[in-house]
Amino acid sequence: MLVDSHTHLYEFNPDELRSFGGIILVSVAEDVKSSETVVKLAEEYGNVTPCVGIHPWNVDKVPPSDVKLIEGMVKGGDVRCLGEVGLDLKFTPNTIDRQRRFFEEFLRMAKEYDLVLNIHSPDAWREVYDMVTRVDVDKVIFHWYTGPLDLIGDVTEQGYYISVNAALKIQEKSRRVAEVVPLRFMLTESDGPYEYRGIRLTPLMIRELVPEIAKIKGVDAATVEDSVYFNYTKLFK
Ligand SMILES: [Zn+2]
């Protein structure tokens, strides 16, 4: 069973969604509206695992009270994941103080309700790592990790997971990350339909990503597939 541990399903059309059958799709959201859509998609499609949250890029567009609406969605117990949440010092450093306030709230929720965190942290890798370890949350995915290679050991020592993006085929940093991260802490993702350097990423690319990782690791593709699926079940079951 292939796993896409980070995708934005609400941005795909229904025909595309059907073509992703047979792949486990962990869908993040970016605001209250997309969170509601993701919850509905999870009811409709058996292969969808929902995450709800407010993207760090959106914190200046929504009132802080939206965090309470997100909390209402996880209180019921059906949604076990917050995402995409985190900090971004690369693309939106101007809102970092507000991002930190929102993220603190999501960390509190993750701890209180024992949730998985599906985390966005460009150029804030170490700060996010420090924050999640300080709150002592258990289940963390560092999505599309392209941070310092020397932080990876600390991340995996905490039992946190690192998600390698399908952009690996053209992104040298992702390749380096895949070399360093042990398979037992590795997940696979598309972040689709995000467009990276002219490539529209989709969950179907996980099919090519798994053999690429296998080549890097010197194992067969089935070993990578099984390992990622096992990691997924540890986090979400
Ligand atoms: Zn994303």
**CA of residue 15 to ligand 1 center, whole Å:** 21
Mean pLDDT value of segment 5-26: 96
**CA of residue 144 to ligand 1 center, whole Å:** 8
**CA of residue 84 to ligand 1 center, whole Å:** 6
Residue 172: how many CB atoms within 10 A of its CB? 9
Assign 3-class secondary structure to 136-189: CCCCEEECCCCCCHHHHHHHHHCCCEEEEEHHHHCCHHHHHHHHHCCHHHEEEE
Domains of the chain from N-terminus onward: 2-236 (3.20.20.140)
Mean pLDDT value of segment 29-42: 98
* Residues 190 and 7: beta-carbon distance below 8 Å: yes
* Residues 63 and 49: beta-carbon distance below 8 Å: no
**CA of residue 8 to ligand 1 center, whole Å:** 6
What pLDDT does 70 receive?
Answer: 98
With bands split at pLDDT 50, 70 and 90, how would you rate the model's confidence at 77?
confident
**CA of residue 119 to ligand 1 center, whole Å:** 9
Query: pLDDT for 202-214, tens place per residue?
Result: 999 999 999 999 9
Helix (H, G, I), strand (E, B) or coil at 45: coil
What pLDDT does 208 receive?
Answer: 97
With bands split at pLDDT 50, 70 and 90, how would you rate the model's confidence at 116?
very high
pLDDT of 76 over the 90 cut = no
